[in-house]
Structure 1
Amino acid sequence: MKRILFVIISCCLSFTANAQYEPSAINYGLVAIKSFGTVEEIGLGARIEYASNCYTTFIGEYNRLFSIGADEEVEGYNELALGVNLILFNWYPTTITAGFGYIGNDSSIFEEIEDDALIAFRTGNFNHGAQIKIRALHQISVPVHIFAEFNIKSLGRQYDTFLLGFSYDFDAR
């Protein structure tokens, strides 16, 4: 019981520390992606982040995943995501966040593994699901952050990803 109380108090105290972004900040970022689907699958992405307050960040992202050195039959796919991240721990200038959100893609192989997906459905040629994000964010300077992020997706282990990227706040002073 004492351990649980310690964890809860630690989490509450971390919310009173410095934030991941300034309130009302809009950040733009680029990411490099490694998929756990196949060895050859990598990707690139772009995102926009809005911090409504110091503790909550809303994220919209577009990713393009493709295979390098694979057969020409293997096609890449597009991925769209919307989510929210909250601060778990904050050791300024490094912040650990976690969040959840919607994930969708146009991968053609999802039909083959759809029965193994946890929470997912298909409309037309588009697959829909949920994701959990865990991110380590480090502020290099006032407008620039770098981060590493792990995404677990309900569409199946095939779609889980690891991202490295940076974000930039054009409005930072």
Structure 2
Amino acid sequence: MAELVEQTTGHAVSVWGSVYGMPLGTVSWTTQVTGFVDAAAQSQKLAENPEWLARVSKAGEQGLFIPGSWEDGLARVIHAAGDAGPMMYASTTMGTPAPGMAMQALEWGTQMADHVASATGNQVTLCTSNYGTATGSMIFFMGFDSAESVDATQETLMSDSTYMEAMGKTAELFLPDGQRTLTQRLN
């Protein structure tokens, strides 16, 4: 499916499988677009591709997708820190800024992205969610080149006093609705 989307739209697609924090067997696809106009144009190309429509229909008939389980989201990149490298795993951390704290949360998030990227060597991207279940949330994406890198990053951050002190500020900046997931790249 990802290859067909890439051929149809001209956009690279990454396929991810759930490891932690999502229902077992969850598969997600990610791509980058310049904005909603670009996303809508890509969706239209797919809607006009008979092979795409046939594959989606067949997958539904075979029970490969749970009816009503498809969900899209659109996030805006606010800040990226660190060098992009090969990603075999990705963590996604989401949180909703507390009322009246959006600007302070964005400032904190930008500083945290810079610090975590510097401390771990991983790329960290800070986004805001424009559409989807996390609308209004801030989203941190962090890529890892291996399972060992996932563990090493956790060890580094848990022993980093600057990180731990900054994490203590989340109670005043964010609602207690945070979620963290780990996915593995499948393509």
TM-score tier, shorter chain, comes to: under 0.3
Higher relative contact order (CA 8 A, sep 6+): 2
TM-score norm. by structure 2 comes to 0.23
TM-score norm. by structure 1 comes to 0.24
Q: Which has the higher strand share?
A: 1
